[in-house]
Amino acid sequence: MIPLAERMRPKTLDEYIGQKHLVGPQGVLRRMMESGSISSFILWGPPGVGKTTLARIVANKENRPFFTLSAVTAGVKEVREVIEKARKSLFFDAPNPVLFIDEIHRFNKSQQDSLLGAVEQGVFTLIGATTENPSFEVITPLLSRCQVYVLQPLDREDLLELLDRTIRTDAELKKRTVTVKETTALLRFSGGDARKLLNTLELIANASGDEVVIDDQTVTTCLQQNPMAYDKDGELHYDIISAFIKSIRGSDPDAAIYWLARMIEGGEDPKFIARRLVISASEDIGLANPNAMLLANACFDTLTKIGWPEGRIPLAETTIYLASSPKSNSAYMAINRALEVVRETGNLPVPLHLRNAPTKLMKQLGYGEDYKYAHDFPGHFVEQQYLPDELRELSLWKSQSNPQEDKMAERLKKLWKKRY
Provide Rg for the chain, Cα atoms: 31
The fold of the 156-223 domain, in CATH, is Helicase, Ruva Protein; domain 3 (1.10.8)
* 156-223 and 235-324 share one fold: no
pLDDT digits (tens, 9 = 90+) for 377-390: 898 988 888 888 88
pLDDT digits (tens, 9 = 90+) for 42-63: 999 888 888 989 988 887 776 7
pLDDT digits (tens, 9 = 90+) for 91-112: 666 677 888 888 888 888 888 8
Instruction: Specify the pLDDT at position 257.
Output: 94
The yes-or-no verdict on residue 236 having pLDDT over 70 is no
Higher pLDDT, 225 or 113: 113
Among 224-233, 291-300, 364-373, 399-408, the minimum mean pLDDT is found in 224-233
Rounded to whole angstroms, the Cα distance separating 395 from 373 reads 23
pLDDT digits (tens, 9 = 90+) for 118-156: 888 888 889 999 888 888 788 888 888 889 999 988 999
pLDDT digits (tens, 9 = 90+) for 152-199: 889 999 999 999 999 999 999 988 899 999 998 888 888 888 998 999
Instruction: Specify the pLDDT at position 7.
Output: 92
Confirm if 126 and 119 have CB atoms less than 8 A apart: yes
In the predicted model, what is the mean pLDDT of residues 345-350? Answer: 85
Instruction: Specify the pLDDT at position 285.
Output: 93
The yes-or-no verdict on residue 402 having pLDDT over 80 is yes
DSSP β-bridge partners for residue 67? 99
User: What phi and psi values does residue 390 have, to the nearest 5 degrees?
Assistant: -65, -20
The yes-or-no verdict on residue 234 having pLDDT over 70 is no
In the predicted model, what is the mean pLDDT of residues 327-332? Answer: 92
- Second-level CATH architecture of 19-150: 3-Layer(aba) Sandwich (3.40)
Strand order in the sheet with 125-130: 66-70, 98-102, 125-130, 41-44, 147-150
Instruction: Specify the pLDDT at position 141.
Output: 87
Q: What is the mean pLDDT of the chain?
A: 86
As assigned by CATH, the class of the 235-324 domain is mainly alpha
Task: Report which residue type is found at 350.
Answer: V
